[in-house]
Amino acid sequence: MTKIITDYLVFVRRCSLRTLEGDWRYFLWMTVLTAGALLGLNAYCKQFVAGLATTGMSDAVSWGLYIANFTFLVGMAAAAVMLVIPVYIYHDETLHDVVILGELLAIAVIVMCLLFVTVDLGRPDRFWHIIPFVGKFNWPISMLSWDVVVLNGYLAINAHICGYLVYMVYQGRKPSPALYMPFVFLSIFWAISIHTVTAFLYVGLGGRPFWNSAIVAPRFLASAFTAGPGFLILTLQLVRKFTAYKISDKAIMMLRNIVQVSMVINVFLLFCELFKEFYTDSAHVASAKYLFFGLHGHYGLVPWIWTAMALDAAALVLLLLPVSRNLKPLSLACGLAIVGIWIEKGMGMVIPAFIPTPLGAIVEYFPTANEWLVCLGIWSFGLLLYTLFLKMTIPVLTGAIRPTAD
């Protein structure tokens, strides 16, 4: 038993030491990310001392950028499933070499999600109230309690799958299916569930007509399966440029297919939602009107949403054209889609439901600089984490780290 533990610790140590190696570009990248993370930490400390008054949120718009980012990132995490399904269910080997990188992304992103929820709390010191059995968990009634369960569960499942598979590669052993296949199947179901539960968080509120729409969960999934694999397309190109890890064009093109189809579905579902809102033209259209055209002289979100629409449209056209079989246009399309969806799902989905308030008042929301810095910090920290994960894992996958090698 002790040998198993020491072996594992040696493995972790060897992998960890790899994070201290790299050329100047690596150290510059890590320094920039660390600086970003520390700026965010500093901004959060200010918020911790003064309260959420340091943000642009109000009684009227009680959720803002933090929950917007959270919502987007849950989708990014769920997107790992789009790699898992072809590899493990259909035994399509194209994506085999990249599925671990997708799962590692899911781990880093879930950590970001948990951070975004934590910084949004008015009483972070009472976090333990939300721990099952320790605090007072309103499960299964509160959708937020469901979110706690599914997010942490997803983190654990992916950590197990990645940790186990990478360790087996390191030891040169064939992974025992019994020890990971059940978790792979569970993770597929679970990935869908994290984003569905996050959608239900909004859908379940009868007092917010903008959210109270059955199409939110499918929309969330479609946009997630665009942004997540899109992000991986960008990552994989960097990985194969800067490491010895071989990633075929075929794998990237397979991801392109996923991004392409998901983007079409995403735009279609968005269109369905907009049709229902604007054609019906009931009192419930107020939030959508505010978002797209402004309401009673207030236009706070109009530039945001039209930016998103333009980015989405450009990405869609690029993805549908054969030109995106080339890597540069494809990367451009992915970048546009990621930013477009980030706006659409964040500022375009979370904020307008609060405007106008249920009593008809219009209080606009403008994030403060401090709020932006906290977001910057979490994004930097997440990218830092993902870089470290890749740095630790890829040498194992390429065979540079082995139990015997030193």
Partner 1 sequence: MEDQSEEGISRRAFLGVMAVSAAGATAAALAPLKDIVDLPTLEEFLQKHYKELTPADKEAILERIRKEVKAKYGVTPNLTDPQPLPGVEFGYALNIGRCVGCRKCVYACVKENNQSRDPQIQYIRVLQMRKGSIDVETSSQQYEGEVPKDGFYYMPVQCHQCRKAPCVKACPVKATWQEPDGVIVVDYNWCIGCRYCMAACPYDARRFNFTLPNLPKEDLNPDMGYLSNRPRPKGVVEKCHFCLHRTRNGRYPACVEVCPTGARKFGNLLDPESEISLILKNKRVYVLKEEVGTLPRFYYYFDL
Residues that bind partner 1 (CB under 8 A): 20, 27, 31, 34-35, 38-39, 41-42, 45-46, 48-53, 55, 57-60, 62-63, 117, 120-127, 129-130, 135-138, 141-145, 148, 201, 204-208, 283, 286, 353-354, 356-361, 406
Neighbours of 27 (CB within 10 A): 12
Reply yes or no: is the peptide bond before residue 140 cis, omega within 30 of 0. yes
By beta-carbon proximity to partner 1, the closer residue of 51 and 322 is 51
Considering the complex, what minimum distance in angstroms separates the CB of residue 133 from partner 1?
13
By beta-carbon proximity to partner 1, the closer residue of 184 and 194 is 194
Helix (H, G, I), strand (E, B) or coil at 295: strand
Burial of 220 (0-12, 13-18, 19+ CB in 10 A): buried
Considering the complex, what minimum distance in angstroms separates the CB of residue 396 from partner 1?
21
Give the whole-angstrom CA distance, residue 367 versus residue 339: 18
Give the whole-angstrom CA distance, residue 202 versus residue 271: 19
By beta-carbon proximity to partner 1, the closer residue of 152 and 248 is 152
Neighbours of 72 (CB within 10 A): 27
By beta-carbon proximity to partner 1, the closer residue of 222 and 353 is 353
By beta-carbon proximity to partner 1, the closer residue of 276 and 289 is 289
By beta-carbon proximity to partner 1, the closer residue of 222 and 291 is 291
Considering the complex, what minimum distance in angstroms separates the CB of residue 364 from partner 1?
14
Tokens of 384: 């830092």
By beta-carbon proximity to partner 1, the closer residue of 133 and 174 is 133
Contact of 341 with 71, CB cutoff 8 Å: no
Residue entry with tokens 């930097």: 380
Give the whole-angstrom CA distance, residue 333 versus residue 337: 6
Contact of 401 with 170, CB cutoff 8 Å: yes
By beta-carbon proximity to partner 1, the closer residue of 122 and 322 is 122
By beta-carbon proximity to partner 1, the closer residue of 123 and 174 is 123
Considering the complex, what minimum distance in angstroms separates the CB of residue 142 from partner 1?
4
State how far the alpha carbon of 267 is from the alpha carbons of 146, 254, 294, 308, 312, in Å.
28, 20, 22, 11, 8
Considering the complex, what minimum distance in angstroms separates the CB of residue 252 from partner 1?
34
Residues belonging to the chain: 406
Give the whole-angstrom CA distance, residue 377 versus residue 55: 15
Considering the complex, what minimum distance in angstroms separates the CB of residue 119 from partner 1?
11
Helix (H, G, I), strand (E, B) or coil at 245: coil
Give the whole-angstrom CA distance, residue 182 versus residue 190: 12
Please write down the HEC assignment for all residues of 61-73: CCCCHHHHHHHHH
Considering the complex, what minimum distance in angstroms separates the CB of residue 299 from partner 1?
17
Instruction: Give the contacts of 122 (CB within 8 A, at least 6 positions apart).
Output: 51, 52
Give the whole-angstrom CA distance, residue 163 versus residue 158: 8
Determine the distance from the C-alpha atom of residue 303 to the mean position of all C-alpha atoms in its chain, rounded to a whole number.
24
Neighbours of 31 (CB within 10 A): 10
Considering the complex, what minimum distance in angstroms separates the CB of residue 68 from partner 1?
13
Considering the complex, what minimum distance in angstroms separates the CB of residue 406 from partner 1?
7
Considering the complex, what minimum distance in angstroms separates the CB of residue 279 from partner 1?
19
By beta-carbon proximity to partner 1, the closer residue of 203 and 233 is 203
